[in-house]
């Protein structure tokens, strides 16, 4: 750990991180790192910042996990969020695999930057990513989103609206980490880094009939749906409507923007 590792606990309510106080929070995950049980640290244990409180807000802040590139396993979470009703505005999240563990709760990411390679936005939260930049640094292949919804009864999912996707490595838009994974992209500018198939069933064909992967009115070289997997959806305006605004995360009840 280079500068600071932070854990915002469930007992801390209504916290705002002030950018002038801690502009950069950096952690380094090495191949030799072990957890308290002596096991290798993976997705769950490597977070630079772990937020468990509700109503957390961060702005103009950079959170990094600079993973050892020589490691066989590159899970290195910059930010893990388990609290409910969190807002991240102009926040930079920098890492590789599993950069953002958007684990549980309802969250709003606005005009933020998220860099990674494999499944670099993952978890089972219900989150709106609005006007964000998603930057792939995958070396061979990767994926932006890996949603983990396991039941059709869960009210969770990732919605990306007016986001810019760019980078240097080829990535899927999403993978079905959970059987009922839910991920949509609307009005997003997709660079050439998007793999033509677009989506992955995580090696489990049964998830093709249960995952909800959709695209609506996207642009750029990566938005061409000619070779997309047939079980993904080109959403109609009516189908896309629930995903397009802060209503998706019930924003009228808790957001003051």
**Lookup: tokens for 227:** 């070779």
**Joined tokens for residue 61:** 């802040």
Catalytic annotation present for 68: no
| Number of CB atoms found within 10 A of residue 13's CB | 10
Contact call for residues 168 and 139 (beta carbons, < 8 A): no
**100-108 long-range Cβ contacts below 8 angstroms, 24+ apart:** 101/43, 101/44, 101/47, 101/77, 102/127, 102/158, 105/54, 105/81, 106/249, 106/250, 106/254, 107/81, 107/249, 108/246, 108/249, 108/251, 108/255
DSSP secondary structure, 102-121, as one string: E-SSEEEEES-EEEESSS-E
Q: Locate all alpha helices (DSSP H) within 48-136, ordered by sequence.
A: none
Which residue is catalytic, options 84, 102, 119, 135?
119
Backbone torsions φ then ψ of 208, nearest 5 degrees = -65, -30
- Only one residue has tokens 């609506």, namely 216
Catalytic residue among 98, 102, 135, 201: 98
Q: How distant, in Å, are the alpha carbons of 63, 101, 150 from that of 127?
A: 19, 12, 16
CB contact set of 39 (below 8 Å; sequence gap of 6+): none
Q: Which of the residues are catalytic?
A: 98, 119
């Amino acid at each position: 750990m280079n500068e600071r590792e932070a854990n915002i606990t469930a007992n801390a309510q209504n916290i705002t991180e002030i950018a002038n106080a801690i502009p950069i929070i950096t952690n380094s995950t090495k191949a030799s790192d072990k957890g308290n049980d002596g096991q290798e640290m993976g997705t769950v244990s490597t977070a630079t910042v772990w937020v468990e409180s509700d109503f957390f807000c961060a702005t103009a802040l950079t959170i990094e996990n600079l993973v050892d590139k020589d490691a066989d396993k590159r899970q290195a979470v910059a930010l893990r969020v388990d609290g409910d009703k969190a807002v991240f505005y102009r926040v930079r999240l920098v890492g590789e695999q599993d950069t953002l563990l958007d684990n549980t709760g309802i969250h709003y990411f606005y005009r933020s930057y998220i860099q990674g390679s494999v499944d670099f936005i993952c978890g089972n939260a219900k989150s709106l990513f609005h006007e964000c930049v998603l930057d792939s640094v995958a070396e061979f292949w990767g994926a932006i989103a890996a949603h983990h919804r396991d039941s059709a009864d869960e009210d969770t999912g990732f919605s990306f609206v007016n986001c810019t996707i760019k980078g240097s490595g080829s990535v899927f838009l999403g993978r079905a980490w959970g059987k009922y994974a839910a991920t949509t992209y609307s009005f997003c500018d997709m660079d050439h880094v998007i793999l033509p198939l677009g989506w992955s069933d995580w090696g489990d064909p049964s998830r093709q009939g249960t995952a909800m992967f959709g695209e609506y009115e996207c642009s750029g070289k990566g938005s061409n749906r000619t070779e997309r997997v047939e079980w993904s959806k080109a959403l109609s305006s009516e189908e896309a409507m629930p995903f397009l605004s802060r209503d998706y995360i019930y924003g009228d009840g808790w957001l003051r923007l």
